[in-house]
């Protein structure tokens, strides 16, 4: 394929035709924040943290999904870009619990984001209130506190929990559950506006939904909103300690496909199973056996 | 079993009509009914729930089968809608809950219902197990009238009121009020379908040429050259091509398309057919907002009659051409007027705008080349084809040709729909409508709707042309001219506009999803005189929120969500007066 050459921050960068501006930025070694982008998923370009200034464009453009076209002139560190990126990070951090979103935190430090300037977080609403919100209606705010997405943790099965107080609505789990990987469509975005949320049909518990517990949504979630029960409980007890964890690579023993597994152990116990994004076999996706089968290893012992 | 693939996609576009079917019958979308639809259409239930819960007219929790939507949006607010809603709450209980007096009914607040000329307005909808729900628009309402609509059993349905139409030129409005909108014979006698015949004669290239010479630009808000759009679609090799008439009209203060559709529905059909011929489109969709029951029933009748008369279907008007129109009802979502959100809505997906590029002329509805035009834009085409582009271009200014419909509402003596040549001075238009009501002093004019901007009395000399508006940093938008007299509570209007964008954001992108919330919170702080830090800091923060929404949002909703508010704060002492 022929290359296209674009100018980024004054320097010429060449990438293969069809590549995105993001790919060009990365090729040039420019640290570009992304939240909703993932190599193995179709770009949804919704978070807008990756925006860059493109000469001739009225608005900023999302680098993760805009294809590089020869002759483009791009700025990644102009005042406009910095303002938008900073505000996107602040908007998220002022409305969502991002304490476990390491990369987002790193970018917040980089851009000097101050989520506190929208006021103190509003007290969490009543349980189930978010799931019951009605499209096109909301109670007028006082303005004294910043509205958040806080809601109780959903713990309705033995394998993983959904803590949507930590959800930045990046759509990755929906894509992983849908046509990008699992083809199960157990979850989707429901509601609209600030009340939009990841949900099963009529917000039924997971066991009543189409979920097959492949855990692919956990694998792609960037904020820890979706979490193995093992990790969730250890964190709650204060016994989750990445510094004492070992990661080992292995091949899943359950069937003949041969999925690559990345197994984390702590204190001699398996606490988490992922699959590398780069794996040609899995693209990061697994099934219930590879992802959760080890729980039986523990139980049998 | 996993439901996906081509087979499922083939059914998916029937989802929104199916959800309407449920809501029309029982007034809400129950889990059992939703599952049934999902099995029939092979749509995953979580997906269908995501779609159903997107729309404000649908309820996914049990709701009374009769519902009264009371408009509390800007024009109605100027006419006392807040006080009215407070009275209703006192007498009828909280919104969405069954009334203490009658369990089968409830009431709720609503954004603009497109009846701002008869504010305050309401819309009564009664579900019907037989599938023929009753939708009754109510204008100039007060509490007793609304209570009667809700509580009395055998009340004759109100006669639909006809809009006040006026202006200095009658081109688009020439048949309004003069013909029976349900009679194709009347339409013919008034010259109907002669333009279509001429269009068939001159063919696609001839039509596009006339529209190009006419310099027609879109009336849906963006003022894009219509001929360029048509030409681009006509050129695309991919088939089929689609034509969409955007009749989602939900910009607060706007009611122009409704009047055309209610009073001259055959003109919409004829104009769509001409556009379809130009673009080589075999299939058309007419997407009408769900809050327009009269417009949709008249349009459906017109489509059926036109088809029976050979003006739609195979061999239109005796030619070998084929074109047919399907009507789709929206379900309460301003964002579905954005063209790519509209595609998704028709396709049975959530009404979330798509990233552009690719543009609709290349990849639109179902991924195919698609023309999207506003009702008023299309209505102009009839005159252009009948009389020629040059005649059309001789009206208006060199940069803004033809006439334009303006929706006059608020504190104006004679609210209604006015047609004037583009370039007419705003002051002239206000005079034409009798000036500020009751001889009061003018405080401000909201031009272009919630996505438009506020003008000061010193600015009413502006010529109402696209370039004239642009020169003062404003936009004609959808043609809203909302008048605020000296007594109007501008701060209250701003807070309502902020609430509107917060409610109508699709929620997809962070700048708009969270920005509209932060903007609303901040305005409430200013209004209550309780800034975080100093008022200046708050103003700076508001400007930054506006900037990120404008710069980084996916679509026009987020990009314009701060424009009216910022214009008001920069020109008026809004929150420092009291
Ligand atoms: C949030 C939003 C809402 C819109 N609503 C409408 C609408 O109700 N009717 C309409 O014709 N255009 C609406 N538009 C503009 C359409 O996207 C599109 O530009 C228009 O239908 C093109 O038709 P025109 O060229 O004839 O104006 C809206 C745009 C945005 C961003
Ligand atoms: S575990 Fe798998 S099937 Fe269940 S919601 Fe997550 S991705 Fe979908
Ligand atoms: S749960 Fe996680 S993956 Fe899913 S949308 Fe929220 S943050 Fe993204
Ligand atoms: S700007 Fe607002 S309405 Fe438009 S895509 Fe983003 S969230 Fe949705
Ligand atoms: S990473 Fe590009 S929009 Fe989210
Ligand atoms: S009908 Fe109430 S504002 Fe338009």
pLDDT at B1 over 50: no
Our CA angle for B376, B232, B287, nearest 5°, is: 35
Q: 3-state SS of B126-181?
A: ECCCCCCCEEEEECCCCHHHHHHHHHCCCCCCCCCCCCCEEECCCCCCCCCCCCCC
Q: Is the peptide bond before B358 cis (omega within 30 degrees of 0)?
A: yes
Concatenated DSSP letters of B127-141: --TTS--EEEEE-S-
Nearest 5°: phi and psi at B266?
Answer: -65, -30
Q: Strand, coil or helix: what is A256?
A: coil
Q: At what angle do helices B256-263 and B375-387 cross, to 10 degrees?
A: 60
The confidence score (pLDDT) of residue B338 equals: 98
- What is the model's pLDDT at position B578? 41
C-beta separation of B311 from B268 below 8 A: no
pLDDT at A300 over 50: no
> Which residues, at least 6 apart from A92, have a Cβ–Cβ distance to it below 8 Å?
A35, A47, A98, A104, A115, A168, B510, B514
Helix then strand then coil, % of chain A, to nearest 5: 30, 20, 50
The pLDDT score that the predictor gives to residue A294 is: 79
Sign of the CA dihedral A238, A241, A242, A243? positive
Token pair 């501006």 is found at A21
Using only C-alpha atoms, what is the Rg of chain B?
23
Helix pair B143-151, B81-92: axis angle to 10 deg: 40
Closest chain A C-alpha to B323 CA, distance in angstroms: 34
The alpha carbon of residue A174 and the mean position of all alpha carbons in its chain are separated, in whole angstroms, by 10
* Domain B66-151 sits in CATH 3.40.30.10: yes
Fold entry, domain B184-393: Rossmann fold (3.40.50)
Listed in sequence order, the DSSP H helices in B264-338 are 265-279, 293-308
Distance, in Å, from the CA atom of B499 to the CA atom of B247, rounded to the nearest integer, reads 23
pLDDT of residue B489: 97
Q: What per-residue confidence (pLDDT) applies to B412?
A: 98
Each residue of B315-334: pLDDT tens digit?
999 999 999 999 999 999 99
Question: Given this model, what pLDDT does residue A1 score?
Answer: 63
- This model of the complex carries an ipTM of 0.96
Mean pLDDT of B357-372: 97
Indicate if the pLDDT at residue B363 is higher than 80: yes
pLDDT beyond 80 at B9: no
Neighbours of A52 (CB within 10 A): 29
Q: What b/e string do you get for B238-264 counting C-beta neighbours within 10 Å, with b at 16 or more?
A: eeebbbbbbbbbbbbbbbbbbbbbbbb
**Structural domain spans, chain B:** 5-52, 66-151, 184-393, 403-485, 490-571
DSSP 8-state secondary structure symbol assigned to residue B311: S
- Whole-Å CA distances, A153 to A128, A157, B148, B188, B355: 10, 12, 45, 64, 33
Work out the percent of chain B whose per-residue pLDDT is above 70: 97
Instruction: For residue B3, list chain A residues with Cβ-Cβ distance below 8 A.
Output: 185
Task: Quote the DSSP letter at residue A203.
Answer: G
pLDDT at residue A131 tops 70: yes
Instruction: For domain B403-485, give the CATH number.
Output: 3.10.20.600
Half-sphere exposure of residue A142: CA atoms within 13 angstroms, side-chain side? 9
CA distance A55 to B436: 45
| Domain B490-571 annotated CATH 3.20.20.140 | no
Report whether residue B550 contacts ligand 4, using a CB cutoff of 6 Å. Answer: no
Segment 471-500 of chain B within 8 Å of chain A by CB: 495, 499
**Using an 8 Å Cβ cutoff, are B73 and B112 in contact?**
yes
DSSP type of residue B175: T
**Domains B66-151 and B490-571 alike in fold:** no
DSSP lists the bridge partners of residue B444 as B484
Domains in chain A and their CATH numbers?
Answer: 3-118 (3.10.20.740), 123-237 (3.30.70.20)
pLDDT digits (tens, 9 = 90+) for A87-102: 999 999 999 999 999 9
Contact B249, B451 (CB under 8 A): no
What per-residue confidence (pLDDT) applies to B488? 97
**Which candidate in A36, A189, A212 is best for mutational testing of the B interface (most B CBs within 10 A)?**
A189
Contact A170, B548 (CB under 8 A): no
Hey, what are A276's tokens? 């590398």
Running DSSP on this structure, what letter comes out for residue B457? G
> From the CA of B495, how many Å to the nearest CA of chain A?
9
How far B512 CA sits from the closest chain A CA (Å)?
8
3-state class (DSSP) for residue B41: helix
> pLDDT (tens digit, 9 = 90+) per residue, B276-306?
999 999 999 999 999 999 999 999 999 999 9
* Average pLDDT of the residues in B140-164: 83
- Subunit contact A136:B502, Cβ cutoff 8 A: no
Question: What is the per-residue pLDDT for A281?
Answer: 87
Q: Is B518 on the interface with A (CB under 8 A)?
A: yes
Distance CA A193, CA B376 (A): 29
Q: What is the residue-averaged pLDDT of chain B? A: 95
Does A143 contact B553 at a Cβ distance shorter than 8 Å? no
pLDDT in tens, A217-250: 999 999 999 999 999 999 999 999 999 999 999 9
User: Between chains, do A84 and B552 touch, taking CB under 8 Å as contact?
Assistant: yes
């Amino acid at each position: 394929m022929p290359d296209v050459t674009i100018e980024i921050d004054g320097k010429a960068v060449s990438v293969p035709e069809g590549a995105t501006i993001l790919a060009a930025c990365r090729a040039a070694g420019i640290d570009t924040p992304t939240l909703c982008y993932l190599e193995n998923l179709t770009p949804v370009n919704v978070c807008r943290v990756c925006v860059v200034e493109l000469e001739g464009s009225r608005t900023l453009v999302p680098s993760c999904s805009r294809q590089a076209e020869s002759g483009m002139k791009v700025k990644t560190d102009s005042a406009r870009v910095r303002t938008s990126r900073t505000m996107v990070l602040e908007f998220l951090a002022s409305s969502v619990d991002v304490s476990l979103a390491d990369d987002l935190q790193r970018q917040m430090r980089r851009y000097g984001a101050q989520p506190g300037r929208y006021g103190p977080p509003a007290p969490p609403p009543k349980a189930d209130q978010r799931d019951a919100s009605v499209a096109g209606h909301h109670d007028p705010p006082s303005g004294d506190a910043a509205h958040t997405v806080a809601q109780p943790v959903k713990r309705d099965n033995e394998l993983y929990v959904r803590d949507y107080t930590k959800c930045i609505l990046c759509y990755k789990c929906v894509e992983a559950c849908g046509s990008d990987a699992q083809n199960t469509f157990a979850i989707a975005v429901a509601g609209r506006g600030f009340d939009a949320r990841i949900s099963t049909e009529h917000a039924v518990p997971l066991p009543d939904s189409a979920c097959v517990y492949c855990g692919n949504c956990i694998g792609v979630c960037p904020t820890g909103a979706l979490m193995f029960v093992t990790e969730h409980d250890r964190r709650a007890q204060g016994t989750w300690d990445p510094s004492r964890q070992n990661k080992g690579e292995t091949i899943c023993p359950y069937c003949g496909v041969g999925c690559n597994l990345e197994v984390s152990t702590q204190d001699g116990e398996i606490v988490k199973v992922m699959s590398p994004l780069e794996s040609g076999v899995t693209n990061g996706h697994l099934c219930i056996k590879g992802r959760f089968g080890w729980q039986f290893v523990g139980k049998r012992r | 079993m996993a439901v996906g693939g081509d087979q499922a996609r083939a059914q998916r576009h029937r989802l929104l009509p199916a959800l309407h079917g449920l809501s029309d019958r029982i007034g809400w979308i129950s889990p059992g009914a939703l599952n049934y639809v999902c099995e029939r259409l092979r749509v995953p239930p979580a997906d269908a729930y995501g779609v159903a819960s997107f729309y404000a007219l649908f309820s996914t929790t049990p709701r009374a089968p009769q519902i009264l939507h009371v408009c509390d949006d800007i024009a109605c607010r100027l006419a006392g809608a807040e006080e009215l809603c407070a009275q209703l709450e006192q007498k009828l209980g909280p919104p969405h809950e069954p009334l203490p007096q009658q369990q089968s009914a409830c009431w709720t607040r609503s954004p603009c219902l497109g009846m701002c000329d008869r504010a305050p307005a309401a819309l009564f909808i009664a579900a019907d197990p037989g599938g023929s729900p009753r939708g009754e628009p109510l204008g100039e309402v007060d509490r007793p009238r609304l209570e009667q609509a809700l509580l009395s059993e055998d009340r004759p349905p109100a006669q639909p009121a006809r809009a006040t139409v006026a202006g200095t030129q009658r081109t688009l409005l020439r048949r309004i009020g003069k013909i029976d909108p349900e009679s194709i014979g009347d339409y013919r006698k008034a010259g109907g379908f002669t333009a279509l015949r001429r269009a068939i004669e001159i063919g696609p290239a001839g039509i596009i040429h006339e529209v190009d010479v006419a310099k027609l630009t879109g009336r849906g808000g963006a003022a894009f050259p219509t001929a360029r759009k048509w030409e681009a679609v006509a050129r695309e090799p991919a088939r089929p091509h689609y034509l969409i008439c955007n009749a989602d009209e939900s910009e607060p203060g706007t009611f122009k398309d409704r009047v055309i559709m209610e009073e001259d529905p055959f003109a919409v059909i004829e104009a769509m057919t001409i556009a379809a011929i130009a673009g080589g489109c075999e299939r058309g969709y007419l997407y009408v907002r769900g809050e327009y029951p009269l417009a949709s029933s008249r349009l459906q009748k017109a489509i059926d009659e036109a088809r029976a008369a050979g003006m739609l279907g195979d061999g239109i008007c005796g030619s070998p051409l084929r074109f047919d129109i399907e009507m789709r009802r929206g379900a309460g979502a301003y964002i579905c007027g954005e063209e790519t959100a509209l595609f998704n809505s028709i396709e049975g997906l959530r009404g979330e705008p798509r990233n552009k590029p690719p543009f609709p002329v290349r990849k639109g509805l179902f991924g195919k080349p698609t023309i999207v035009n506003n009702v008023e834009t299309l209505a102009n085409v009839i005159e252009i084809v009948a009389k020629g582009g040059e005649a059309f271009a001789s009206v208006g200014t060199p940069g803004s040709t033809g006439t334009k419909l303006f929706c006059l509402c608020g504190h104006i003596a004679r609210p209604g729909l006015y047609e004037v040549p583009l370039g007419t001075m705003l002051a002239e238009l206000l005079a034409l409508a009798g000036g500020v009501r009751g001889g009061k002093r003018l405080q401000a004019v909201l031009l272009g709707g919630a996505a438009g901007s506020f003008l000061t009395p010193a600015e009413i000399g502006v010529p109402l042309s696209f370039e004239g508006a642009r020169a003062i940093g404003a936009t004609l938008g959808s043609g809203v001219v909302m008048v605020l007299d000296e007594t109007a509570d501008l701060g209250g209007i701003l807070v309502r506009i902020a609430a509107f964008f917060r409610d109508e954001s699709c929620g997809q992108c962070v700048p708009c999803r969270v920005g509209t919330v932060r903007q609303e919170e901040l305005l409430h702080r200013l209004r209550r005189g309780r800034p975080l830090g100093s008022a200046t800091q708050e103003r700076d923060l508001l400007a930054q929120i506006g900037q990120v929404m404008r710069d980084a949002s996916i679509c026009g909703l987020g990009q314009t969500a701060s424009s009216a508010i910022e214009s008001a704060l920069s020109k008026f002492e809004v929150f420092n007066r009291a």
